[in-house]
């Protein structure tokens, strides 16, 4: 029997639990993830065992663990619920931002201001929008993350074995992640390696922060100047490890905070950059290099600077004395 005209049927979905959802109850995870699906229906598919975790049945109060693979059966979703998912701010033109796609993964040039996934206070992000745009996709999971205000290359796996293979490359330091950033001050030296440990903590408000700390995890970053201006420098940043906020905190640690960084930046520098027209964090994931999990071929994908950043550099060039 066909579903009513105002209802769309999704296919089987697979969701891998990441660290941000570890410890959450299964029912709460499903309620927050499956927008538009009635709670009564969610509890029914839990009772009947249609939801599986690592191929086994689990109760509604099961506490999720990082790495758990959740199988969600085909669901009937109200069409207006899908439409709401498509209106995630900045997600309307997501298809136009795809840099590369095959049967194993997709690379998106993520716009600044769009989160990679939904969460506390965030309606939704790239992964939710992509799932809504492609309800037939059986599996879509983030391989890594970018800060909400950072633009550029974002890698998403389309099969679980691909996700595991790419995660292995990440752990072994075989994924080459490079960024472009505008930092404070004239850069007199050549390339510089920064190697100081980083530790995460939360403010009373719940906001996540990172600081340099001997108790933190090892982190290494290489900074290389690319273009010099009167009071700032465009640098390429190569992440040699993958810690939260690593580029931003390491840049601030060496006295070169990134322009527009509201958490770790320099207020006077940011004020001057705003005066000249900068309206966002000047941090862009410009390239991503890795081995194709299926063929072993070297893949290098590049995302050009967004127009608002390239235009701002032209303005800085005009402001800088000859």
User: Residue 322 pLDDT more than 60?
Assistant: no
Q: How many CA atoms lie within 13 A of 25 on its CB side?
A: 9
User: Residue 319 pLDDT more than 50?
Assistant: yes
Total domain count for the chain? 2
234-251: pLDDT as tens digits: 999 999 999 999 999 999
SS3 58: coil
- Average pLDDT for 104-126: 81
CA separation for the pair 112, 180 (Å, rounded): 14
CA separation for the pair 271, 268 (Å, rounded): 5
CATH of the domain at 276: 3.30.2350.10
Q: Do 180 and 291 belong together in one domain?
A: yes
Domain assignment present for 63: yes
CA separation for the pair 243, 221 (Å, rounded): 10
157-213: pLDDT as tens digits: 999 899 999 999 999 999 999 999 999 999 988 899 999 999 999 888 778 899 999
Tell me the pTM. Answer: 0.74
pLDDT of 203 reads 85
Catalytic status, residue 147: yes
Domain assignment present for 201: yes
Domain assignment present for 2: yes
Q: Do 60 and 186 belong together in one domain?
A: no
19-65: pLDDT as tens digits: 768 888 999 888 877 766 788 888 989 988 999 999 899 999 999 99
pLDDT band for position 80 (cuts 50, 70, 90): very low
Q: Do 179 and 314 belong together in one domain?
A: yes
Q: Do 183 and 309 belong together in one domain?
A: yes
User: Residue 78 pLDDT more than 60?
Assistant: no
**Residue from 85, 147, 266, 270 carrying the catalytic annotation:** 147
More confident position, 124 or 194: 194
216-235: pLDDT as tens digits: 999 999 999 999 998 999 99
pLDDT band for position 76 (cuts 50, 70, 90): low
Which of these, 90, 30, 82, 38, lies nearest to 61 by C-alpha position?
30
Backbone angles phi, psi at 261, to 5 degrees: -85, 105
Domain assignment present for 186: yes
Q: Do 75 and 180 belong together in one domain?
A: no
pLDDT of 74 reads 81
CATH of the domain at 49: 3.10.290.10
Identify each DSSP E strand in the chain by its residue range: 7-9, 13-16, 52-53, 56-57, 69-72, 76-78, 98-101, 105-110, 141-142, 151-157, 176-184, 192-195, 198-202, 208-212, 220-228, 232-239, 283-291, 298-302
Sorted by sequence, the CB contacts under 8 Å of residue 210 that are 6+ apart come out as 198, 199, 200, 201, 243, 244, 245, 246, 248, 249
Which of these, 305, 252, 256, 296, lies nearest to 111 by C-alpha position?
305
- Average pLDDT for 142-152: 94
Q: How far is CA 180 from CA 127, 140, 147, 309, in A?
A: 24, 27, 14, 10
Domain assignment present for 145: no
Domain assignment present for 285: yes
Domain assignment present for 289: yes
Partnered with residue 8 across adjacent β-strands are 77
pLDDT of 293 reads 94
Instruction: Write down the mean pLDDT value for the chain.
Output: 86
Q: Which domain holds residue 64?
A: 1-79
Domain-terminating residue out of 79, 100, 134: 79
Domain-terminating residue out of 79, 97, 132: 79
Domain-terminating residue out of 40, 55, 79: 79
Domain assignment present for 160: no
């Amino acid at each position: 029997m066909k579903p009513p005209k105002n209802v769309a049927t999704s296919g089987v979905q697979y969701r891998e639990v990441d660290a941000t959802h570890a410890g959450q109850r299964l029912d709460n995870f499903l309620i927050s993830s499956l927008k538009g699906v009635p709670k009564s229906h969610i509890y029914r598919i839990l009772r009947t065992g249609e939801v599986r975790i690592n191929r086994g049945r689990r109760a509604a109060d099961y506490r999720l663990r990082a790495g758990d693979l959740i199988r969600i059966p085909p669901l009937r979703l109200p069409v207006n619920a899908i439409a709401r998912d498509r209106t995630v701010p900045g997600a309307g033109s997501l298809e136009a931002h795809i840099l590369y796609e095959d049967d194993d993964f997709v690379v998106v040039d993520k716009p600044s201001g769009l989160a990679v996934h939904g969460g506390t206070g965030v309606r939704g992000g790239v992964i939710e929008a992509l799932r809504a745009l492609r309800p037939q996709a059986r599996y879509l999971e983030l391989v890594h993350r970018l800060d909400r205000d950072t633009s550029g290359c974002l890698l998403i796996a389309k099969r679980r074995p691909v996700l595991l293979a790419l995660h292995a490359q990440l752990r072994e330091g075989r994924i080459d992640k490079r960024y472009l950033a505008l930092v404070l001050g004239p850069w007199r030296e050549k390339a510089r390696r920064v190697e100081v440990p980083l530790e995460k903590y939360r403010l009373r408000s719940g906001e996540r922060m990172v600081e340099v700390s001997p108790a933190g995890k090892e982190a290494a970053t290489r900074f290389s100047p690319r273009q010099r201006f009167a009071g700032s420098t465009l640098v390429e940043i190569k992440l040699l490890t993958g810690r939260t906020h690593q580029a931003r905190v390491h840049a601030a640690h060496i006295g070169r905070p990134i322009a527009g960084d509201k958490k770790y930046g320099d207020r006077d520098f940011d004020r001057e950059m705003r005066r000249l027209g900068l309206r966002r964090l000047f941090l862009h994931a410009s390239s991503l290099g890795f081995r194709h999990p299926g063929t072993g071929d070297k893949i290098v994908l590049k995302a050009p600077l967004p127009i608002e950043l390239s235009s701002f550099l032209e303005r800085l060039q005009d402001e800088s004395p000859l």
